[in-house]
Structure 1
Amino acid sequence: MPSEITPKNFWGDMPEEEYYTSQGVRNTQSYFSTPHGKLFTQSFLPLDQPVKASVYMTHGYGSDTGWLFQKICINFASWGYAVFAADLLGHGRSDGLRCYMGDMEKIASASLSFFLHARRSESYSHLPAFLFGESMGGAATMLMYFQSEDAWTGLIFSAPLFVMPENMKPSKVRLFLYGMLFGLADTWATMPDNKMVGKAIKDPEKLKIIAGNPRRYTGPPRVGTMRELARVCEYIQANFARVTAPFLTCHGTSDGVTCPSSSRLLYEKASSRDKTLKLYEGMYHSLIQGEPDENANLVLKDVREWIDERVVRYGGSGGL
């Protein structure tokens, strides 16, 4: 288990509870046991307004639900949404070898077990419910959706990983050579590191803050992680037509980490009757955490308008 020593928070020395109150939310933190390992989980609930719906959020590769990712959670809670988030296995304060994603189905299933626990609880079972996934968390979110299609009112993706850029694809020769070691190399952190953080964050001050996250994984990608991400991307692309839920997918046209074609292909091939694609000219990968405030606020405005409209449109059923 990672050290439980609490680092200095990105917002400074203000006590956590006081900070969350200043943002109009109530935060809770706990651990949730799953068949695949224990997850660190958080909830962000609006303080002074009724809950309109629940949202279940998944972060990207090497990140966690704390630090700057929680700013997304806080925004949704301030709009009147109950937000639940879990560190993926192998990330943050959850169990697992750091950033080893050898079986994404199990990793998605672990987070899904927590999300469904909250979604089916007495407080939220009657309300609309949405899955939110950022970057690699978008791929994990799509796997969760495939495992529980009828549970969700809608899906929201921010720069999802459904198509691997050419410079990120693992070498077939390298994977073959590692494969000859009969799986012994699967956890080795020896794959090329393409400096993804620098390609994800446009605002230099926000890059400094994100780089200061003490729980961020900074080692080279593991063999099994890259093998599995390549497989999962192919699987998701082959199953886009299974997507029938309403969705919003957002991408920057200058994203150097995940291909904007991830969002385009989902929009083109999904069977959903209610689907929205937002492309942001010149924006990088991290649309909400890493862009200058005026850009991030534009994305947040679009996301808020989309989800508020779907709550009104589908709110009577608590789901589809």
Structure 2
Amino acid sequence: MASDPNSTTPPNFWGDTPEEEYYTSQGVTHSSSYFTTPHGRLFTQTWKPLSSSSRALVCFTHGYGSDTGWLFQKLPIAFAQWGYLSIAADLLGHGRSDGLRCYMGDMNKVASASLIYFQSVRDSDECKEIPAFLFGESMGGLATMMMHFLDPNGWSGLMFSAPLFVIPEPMKPSRVRLFLYGMLMGLADTWAVMPDNKMVGKAIKDPEKLKIIASNPRRYTGTPRVGTMRELKRVCEYIQANFDKVKVPFLTVHGTADGVTAPESSKWLYEKASSEDKTLKLYEGMYHSLVQGEPDENSERVLADMREWIDARVDKLQNVKK
């Protein structure tokens, strides 16, 4: 991606190093493309292990206002370094995908678009013989859970990082606002007029990483749209009522000081899911962004737990296959 000569922001979070050179230095190969769905065109990215075949497929979904590039890609890069084929798609309304910026008035459509892409890779000749996992961070966890409900039997497991299943009280949309805007018969659905409650500052603990994340040229910086908040509230309530439908193995991780998505999201999932194989990791004092926004020693601890979890499940699946 070429940089804007009038901008002081580097083209990538690591600076001005060419993409191919950077990814090679990380031990991965990288590619990007567009994928057309019935709901709109998605910008997609792939990270592969540089020197080995892929042990499994991991499909990543980012959070609200973010995209699959910039610091989010530290997650798929790490998994590719561990031997996993990592793919991700900018959600509709985000990054370089189609849609009005950060408008998610129909989360079923948003989740379905990404799921169609993930299924196309999962069912391809390259991946049909290896395990496949869904990974969702923050609001991406909400979208990931919806994908699982739409396709409950197609995945070997789920992974969540600070998922949005329970909205913290300070972040909840005002019922009065939603009611009043709702009386406008949908005319206000796309209006960006809801309070944002300074979400970025609540998500990132490390001040230097906060500066990097805030400089992402594709990050949505407007206030939340009416339809988005209405829909997030609705879908959170739906998922809470259906936690028991989750039966596959899963890992969910959460910081206890998360001010953006309530830690109860992970706790309730763990308590109510029907899965026999379920793992909850709570990190005392950590904020929302566990991998991209914490000091390095904290991020490395979280990544180590993620690697231990997925390695063990893939090993078990491969042994069963033998």
How much has 1:97 moved relative to structure 2? Answer: 0.2
Map 1:73-222 onto structure 2 (within 5 A): 73-222=76-225
Residue 230 of structure 1 aligns to a residue whose secondary structure is helix
* Counterpart contact for 1:154–1:245, Cα < 8 Å: yes
Q: 1:286 maps to which residue?
A: 289
Q: SS at the partner of 2:279?
A: strand
For residue 311 of structure 2, what is the amino acid of its counterpart? D
8 Å CA contact retained: 2:2, 2:11: no
3-state SS of 1:162 partner: coil
* Distance in 2, Cα, partners of 1:241 & 1:215: 36
The reply to whether residue 16 of structure 1 matches residue 19 of structure 2 is yes
2:289 aligned with 1:276: no
Indicate yes or no: 2:238 matched with 1:235. Answer: yes
**Cα displacement string for residues 250-282 of structure 1 (whole angstroms, at most 9, x for unaligned residues):** 000000100000000000000000000000000
* C-alpha deviation, 1:66, in angstroms: 0.2
Distance 2:19 2:61 in 1: 21
Answer yes or no: is the 8 Å Cα contact 2:3–2:11 preserved in 1: no
Distance change >3 Å, CA 15–CA 315, structure 1 → 2: same
Structure-1 separation of matches of 2:16 and 2:49: 23
Report the equivalent of 2:257: 254
Q: CA 1:174 to 1:10, structure 2 compared with 1: closer, same or farther past 3 Å?
A: same
> Gapped runs of 5+ residues in structure 1?
none
Deviation of 1:50 (Å): 1.9
Q: Equivalents in 1 of 2:244, 2:236: separation in Å? A: 14
Partners of 1:193 and 1:220 within 8 A in 2: yes
Q: Identity, % of aligned pairs? A: 72
Shift of 1:180: 1.0
Q: How many corresponding residue pairs?
A: 316
SS for the counterpart of 1:149 is coil
Q: 3-state SS of the aligned residue for 2:280?
A: strand
CA offsets 1:200-220 (integer angstroms, 9 cap, x no match):
000000000000000000000
- 1:192-250 C-alpha deviation (Å, 9 max, x unpaired): 11000000000000000000000000000000000000000000000100000100000
Runs of 4+ in 1 over 3 A off after TM superposition: 3-7
Distance 1:232 1:117 in 2: 25
> 1 CA distance for matches of 2:3 and 2:139?
27
Contact 1:127–1:317 (Cα < 8 Å) also in 2: no
Amino acid at match of 2:260: V
CA, structure 1 residues 255+43, in 2 after alignment: closer, same or farther (shift >3 Å)?
Answer: same
CA distance in 1 between partners of 2:164 and 2:314 (Å): 26
> Which deviates more, 166-175 or 78-87?
166-175
Match of 2:305 among 302, 306, 320: 302
Equivalent residue number for residue 70 of structure 1: 73
Shift of 1:315: 2.8
| TM-score when normalising by structure 2 | 0.96
Runs of 5+ consecutive residues of structure 2 not aligned to the other structure: 5-9
1:315 aligns with 2:318: yes
Instruction: Report the counterpart of residue 47 of structure 1 in structure 2.
Output: 50
| Aligned counterparts of 2:2 and 2:16: Cα–Cα separation in 1 | 18
* CA RMSD after TM alignment: 1.3
